[in-house]
Chains A and B, each alone.
Chain A
């Protein structure tokens, strides 16, 4: 679905990092480095980004 606004575990805002992460990784950057630079230190916030399946585009067609 759509990227959650905050980390489920700690509450850090992760939504705004997702578009940047996707863009930079597609440009060929190392995901680990991108996550570090976005300030996502704890593994709870990191999993929010890396394990997210962005399916909102498919749901949207049914709306």
Chain B
């Protein structure tokens, strides 16, 4: 039975050890984390064209960037996601038309000269859906320029576009197995000095591998040790995972969803198998 031991878990970052697994299982989890965890992202952007009147002054709805670039930048902004509140548009009661159960509407209304930030996106309705990372520059407006934009976010997965990718920097390595033969080790401390990840410490006269999680399996200790006292192998049942999220979901929510998704898929696969 696969087990997970959490080493580090913050809002956007997680590090854990997958125990009693197989390489195939570890890769399946990695791929689900990358491409199958749904999140909300801005997908439909409507620009107001023509003059915008503010306090008796006329502003042009023009920006230094093309509207397409502005929409693309808006799409990449991480939007807070709650799997309890929102569903995919195709599964929604509105049958894909767009309603408060499957989409979030934002408005962006700014006059120049200024820099427009992601924090200027105002959610229509639920104030809790305000973008958390409010310092992402979207456009810079000059004097007499203005934007008036309505943007609609919807649920999606990274199979469709990376803006729906909840995680990044997802990866794993095999758990290293390092042993030092005390009969051969002469206490030359070459490994403690030259290991780039500082895995070894001196325990009396012999070297000892201590910070195993830091080991990058580079194998330079094997090269440096003149006495050939070190052996380095990989444990293909244990994997050290690292992952980060973009802030639309927490790391714990993402991992939770990915594991449930994987479980459901394997269950479905077993069901579909013809009885042997």
Contacts and interface: CB of A to CB of B under 8 A. Distances in A.
Interface stretch (B83-91, B134-142, B220-228): B134-142
B238 interface: no
Interface residues of A, number: 22
Interface string B132-162: 0111110111100100000000000000001
A48 B118 CA distance: 19
A56 B246 contact: no
B135 A63 contact: no
Contacts of B142: 60-61, 63
Given A5-B73, A62-B64, A63-B62, A12 B139 contact: no
B140 A16 contact: no
A56 B66 CA distance: 12
Nearest to B135: A16
Given A2-B65, A59-B64, A15 B246 contact: no
B103 interface: no
B169 interface: yes
B99 to A, nearest CB: 28
Contacts of A61: 142
A15 B136 contact: yes
Interface string A5-37: 111001111011011100000000000000000
A16 B118 contact: yes
Contacts of A7: 168
Contacts of B64: 56, 59-60, 62-63
Contacts of A2: 65, 137, 139-140
Interface in B109-146: 118, 133-137, 139-142, 145
Interface size class on chain B is 20 to 34
B63 A63 contact: yes
Contact of B145 (A5, A15, A18, A63): A63
B36 interface: no
A11 B165 contact: yes
Contacts of B247: 13
B77 interface: yes
B246 A12 contact: yes
A6 B76 contact: yes
A24 B65 CA distance: 27
A1 B165 CA distance: 25
B77 A10 contact: no
Interface of B: 62-65, 73, 76-78, 118, 133-137, 139-142, 145, 162, 165, 168-169, 244, 246-247
Given A5-B76, A15-B136, A16-B134, 19 more contacts: A2-B65, A5-B73, A5-B136, A6-B76, A7-B168, A11-B165, A12-B169, A12-B246, A13-B78, A13-B247, A15-B118, A15-B135, A16-B136, A18-B137, A19-B135, A60-B64, A60-B141, A62-B64, A63-B63
8 closest A-B pairs by CB: A15-B136, A63-B64, A16-B135, A11-B168, A5-B76, A60-B64, A60-B142, A16-B136
